[in-house]
Structure formats: structure tokens, C-alpha cells
Amino acid sequence: MNPIPLALYIHIPWCVRKCPYCDFNSHESRHIPETDYISALLADLKHDQALAQGRAIQTVFIGGGTPSLFSADSYRHLLQAIHRIVPISGQAEITLEANPGTFEYRKFKGFQDAGINRLSVGVQSFSEHQLQALGRIHNRHEAIQAIATARDLGFERLNIDLMHGLPGQTVEAALADLQQAMDLQPSHLSWYQLTIEANTHFHKYPPLLPVEDTLADIQRRGQRVLSEYGLQQYEVSAYARQGQESRHNLNYWQFGDYLALGAGAHGKITLADSGKIVRYNKTRLPAHYLERNASRTAQSSAIATSELAFEFLLNALRLNAGFSKKLFEIRTGQSLASIEAPLQAAIDEELIERSGEQFRCSARGQLFLDDVVARFLG
């Protein structure tokens, strides 16, 4: 039996309106072929069934796009059918990304009844001005109401997505956003800085963003606020109450395996027989994904042996807890001795800290994380 835990990512590529900062595979549409897409997802999984290698799915993440545009009946059918093809663990974490502009009590009760037990709500900001600048379809009241609705329904595992470093944002405005989020008592917060990505509206027409000193002040003071409210940082942009960490994202960061379903979805699988670790992605355009009758995989390639340590550390060093020698060797199939020279150099330069067989980035190393990880390439 393959010892690497298995997750499942499902991509729903449609949204009401494309946000100017978004570089995800999302497509505006008023006419979504929901039933046909669910059928395509299941056909895709049947084709890839052997990749599970007898393992049960431990976590499911339904991302987008705007997955909450689909009906509860569709997700009930989808999850039940997935379970018949590749078993879903009875203790699985099943997350749905949701837009506050699509919240309805009855619909989200249906999501819960379908088996979804964790919500990730894409608020991004509670400022009316910023929500308009970010192209969001919801307003402040709808964001607050969405979180309240989720709480009323009993979703104990609840994440709020919140951005900082927004166009023209002051330290005070960023902290006000954070304070509003804390008043809503989420179990998890994804709090990340806006970055301008290629192939976005913001890249073509760059907004004026806060200067570095302001960004540093937002980060420093914001982390203090989060700590006071009992949310501890466990990854670069992830904060959680004890025991409420995102199990699905932890699987990514710990170099676990994950199946991919949906247009443009990415997967990673460790092949137990050969020891090869394969990354693959599905065809990107929804129309092409729907049309295919055989494999919907667009690209697939094994990670080169010389790049495995880099790939592992690119994820694992994002975690505050870092990684253990055992985890590195199980997930990469390599001995820790294979990276002894660059690892020891980083320890000597106080970029990485060692405690027994556990390794993590130091506070200084976190400031230069990309440079630290680059030392292990090739």
C-alpha cells in the first residue's frame, strides 16, 4: 500500500465576474452546463481511478472559479458517486470555496447535508471601496451575513480569505479589515498580500499599492492582532485556532498526493511501483474538458530526481513547524544526506533551525524564503 496520504482537488471554472487580480482558471458565464460538467468530472475520475492505488481520499477541496454557483444536489450526487469510484474516508475534510454574493441559507444547508463540512469564504475585504476596486460581486453587509449564516448552520470549520496590501490601503484600514474578521470568530484565516500576477487586469493597468514600509507594518501589527485572538500562524499566510488547520492544504505543504478533477486542475501522484513522483494537469478550457471522451489530462511528467528536494522544500519550508527527516525521506524517496551540504550551510547562516531531526526556517530565513529554497535546486 502506498504510504503517502491522498487528497482530491476539484475545480469549478466558472464565476459571475472575473476579478481584476485573479490569475486562476476562471471564466465568466451566465449559462453553466452544470449537469454535463458533473458527468465529465466523474468520467475523468473513472479514467484516473488507478492513480489512487487502493488509497481512500482523506480530504476534498472544491475550488474555483465560484463553486457555490453549483447546486447542493449536484454536490450530493458528485460526492456519492466519487465515493463509489474511490472511497472517501468517513473522517474526510470536505471544503467548498464560497462567494458571499452567492449565499442563501437553504442552499448552504443543502451543501452541508451533501457532506461538505468546511467552508472557505472569499471575503477579501470588508471595505466597500476596496470591494469595488477588487471587482467583487458582494458588499460588506453580504460578507458579514454570509459568515453569520455559516455559523447559524453549524459550520464549525470556517475559513475567511482576506487580502492586505490593497490599492491605497493604509495600516489602519488593513487592521480594520482584520478586526472585522476577528469579530466574526472564524476558526481559520487565510491572510495574504495582494500580488500583481501576469495575465490579469491589474497587470495591464497596475494600481498604486502601499510601499514596503507600510506592508511590513501591516504584517507586523496584524500578526499581533491575530495572536491576541487565538489564531496562530502555521504557514506563510495561514492562521488557525488549535486543531483547525486546513488538512487539505497541509497535505500540499507536506508533499502529499492529490488527484485532480476539473478544467485546469493540477495533481501530484507518487507511483508506488516505480517510486516516481508525477505532476499532471487537466485541459484548461471548460469546453475542451467537456468534449473529451478519453483522458482529460493535458500534461504529465515525472519530477526529476535532482529537483525533488527543491520541490519538497518549496512547500515544507512555508510551514512554521518545518519538516522532519522522516517526512523528507518518505515523501521524496531520498536520503536527507543528499542535501546535507546546502542544509548545513543554511543552518550555519541561521536561515534554517535544527532541533534533533526537525528542520524549520528561522525568522530571518522566512524573510528570504525564496532564496533559501533556491539553494536546493539541482
> How confident is the model at residue 135, as a pLDDT?
87
- The domains of the chain, with CATH numbers, are 6-251 (3.20.20.70), 306-374 (1.10.10.10)
Please state the rounded mean pLDDT for residues 220-249. Answer: 97
Q: Which of 27-31, 165-169, 180-184, 307-311 has the lowest mean pLDDT?
A: 27-31
Determine the pLDDT at residue 234: 98
pLDDT band at 83 (very low <50, low <70, confident <90, very high): very high
**β-strand 118-124 against 88-98: which pairing, if any?**
parallel
Residue 193 has pLDDT above 90, yes or no: yes
Give residue 102's pLDDT: 83
- The rounded radius of gyration (Å) of the Cα atoms in the chain is 21
**Is the predicted pLDDT of residue 2 greater than 80, yes or no?**
no
Give the per-residue SS3 of the chain: CCCCCEEEEEEECEECCCCCCCCCCCEECCCCCHHHHHHHHHHHHHHHHHHHCCCCEEEEEEEECCHHHCCHHHHHHHHHHHHHHCCEEEEEEEEEEECHHHCCHHHHHHHHHHCCCEEEEEEECCCHHHHHHCCCCCCHHHHHHHHHHHHHCCCCEEEEEEEECCCCCCHHHHHHHHHHHHHCCCCEEEEEECCCCCCCHHHHCCCCCCCHHHHHHHHHHHHHHHHHCCCEEEECCEEECCCCCCHHHHHHHCCCEEEEECCCCEEEEECCCCCCEEEEEECCCHHHHHHCCCCCEEEEEECCHHHHHHHHHHHHCCECCCEEHHHHHHHHCCCHHHHHHHHHHHHHCCCEEEECCEEEECHHHHHCHHHHHHCCCC
How far CA 117 is from CA of 96, 114, 276, in Å, comes to 8, 9, 33
Q: Which strands make up the sheet holding 358-361, listed edge to edge?
A: 323-324, 358-361, 352-355
Rounded to an integer, what distance in angstroms lies between the CA atom of residue 227 and that of residue 230? 5
Closest CA to 160 of 129, 183, 186: 186
Categorise residue 195: left if φ over 0, alpha if ψ from -120 to 50, beta otherwise.
beta
pLDDT grade for 17, boundaries at 50, 70 and 90: confident
Per-residue pLDDT of 101-121, as tens digits, reads 888 889 999 999 999 999 999
Closest by CA to 341, choosing from 367, 290, 375, is 375
Confidence of residue 364 (pLDDT cuts 50, 70, 90): very high
Q: Which pLDDT tens digit goes with each residue over 256-277?
A: 999 999 999 999 999 999 999 9
Q: To the nearest whole percent, how much of the chain has pLDDT over 70? A: 100
The grid cell for 219 is 504584517
* pLDDT score, position 14: 95
**pLDDT in the model for residue 52:** 98
